Amino acid sequence: KQVLLEVKNLTRYFPVGRGERVHAVDHVSFRLERGKTLGLVGESGCGKSTTARTIIRIYEPTEGRIIFDGQDISHLSERELHPVRKHMQMIFQDPYASLNARMTVRDILAEPLFAHKLVKSKEEAGGFVYPMLEKVGLTREHANRYAHEFSGGQRQRVGIARALILKPELVICDEPISALDVSIQAQIINLLRDYQEESGTAYLFIAHDLSMVRYVSDEVGVMYLGQLVELCEAEEIYAHPLHPYTRGLLGAIPVANPKLARQKVKSSIEGDIPSPIHPPSACRFHTRCPFATEKCKEEEPVLKDMGGGHLCACHLYD
């Protein structure tokens, strides 16, 4: 087992004036091994994209550390980050917004090769670009066209090709299939899985829905209002979800714990997500949790091992 990425107490707040701040990511810790996939799930606004963007250092962390391939990159300058970025790429949710409309696909894919001085000429770049296009299910003919001429699925293939052309160790996939037709989603998932098998690239795969990460993840983490509330092996989370929020996301799933089995599990989570500027006290889920007690409002549950490496932050299991 080799750890590629370790995130320790990662925290990112955004000031919003009058001394207030958005608690976007709050003391999140996890590890990702080489060649593996961690699925990170939660409703929009839970901090998963901010987590991704802080790891890749689009943002600087407010607190905590990001250790990538043995190096602490938490506070590196842009200049120091440049060589690290070669090994750490991102695939974005919106392939429309993330691709330059004025560039041909060939130039979009060649740009990172030039930026990292892997090639000196357009001819040399072609030696990387054409095989990459084929790898993502496109052809040489697509190289001279512009991204806006393509369908959403094709455009996402270009976004994936651009991320993979540097052969990164880590790819952060920020909702890469959410904007695509259901029929295309499985194709993109299969493409990413096949590439991982062949290359040993690790993925941090972000989605708002547990079903979207099911077939790619080795481990799954669930975030709520900036915090990680549950983290375990993928099969385990679908078979034995522990946190009431996770169980809500999955719908009414029968639970093995007899203490909980007697209580009716709500099939959906009621209520709005509270403001991340003034998150609820102690357990942030207490305003929506069907099992909340006084203790949940007063004492913050910590993420701890419930057995076999299944981490959960909830007083129900104290």
Residue tagged 């929020």 (tokens): 245
The yes or no reply on residue 231 touching ligand SF4 (CB under 6 A) is no
159/301 with CB nearer ligand SF4: 301
Residue 191 CB, shortest distance to Mg ion, in Å, is 21
The yes or no reply on residue 292 touching ligand SF4 (CB under 6 A) is yes
Residue 229 CB, shortest distance to ligand SF4, in Å, is 7
The yes or no reply on residue 310 touching ligand SF4 (CB under 6 A) is no
Residue 280 CB, shortest distance to ligand SF4, in Å, is 9
Residue 239 CB, shortest distance to ligand SF4, in Å, is 19
What, of ligand SF4, Mg ion, none, does residue 49 touch, CB below 5 to 8 Å by kind? Mg ion
The yes or no reply on residue 49 touching Mg ion (CB under 5 A) is yes
Q: How many amino acids of this chain bind ligand SF4 (CB under 6 A)?
A: 12
Contact characters 236-275, ligand SF4, x per CB under 6 A: --------x-------------------------------
**C-alpha–C-alpha distance, residues 192 and 186, integer Å:** 10
Q: Which residues pair with 162 in a beta bridge?
A: none
> What sign has the CA pseudo-torsion 88, 149, 49, 296?
negative
23/315 with CB nearer ligand SF4: 315
109/296 with CB nearer ligand SF4: 296
Residue 264 CB, shortest distance to ligand SF4, in Å, is 14
The yes or no reply on residue 50 touching Mg ion (CB under 5 A) is no
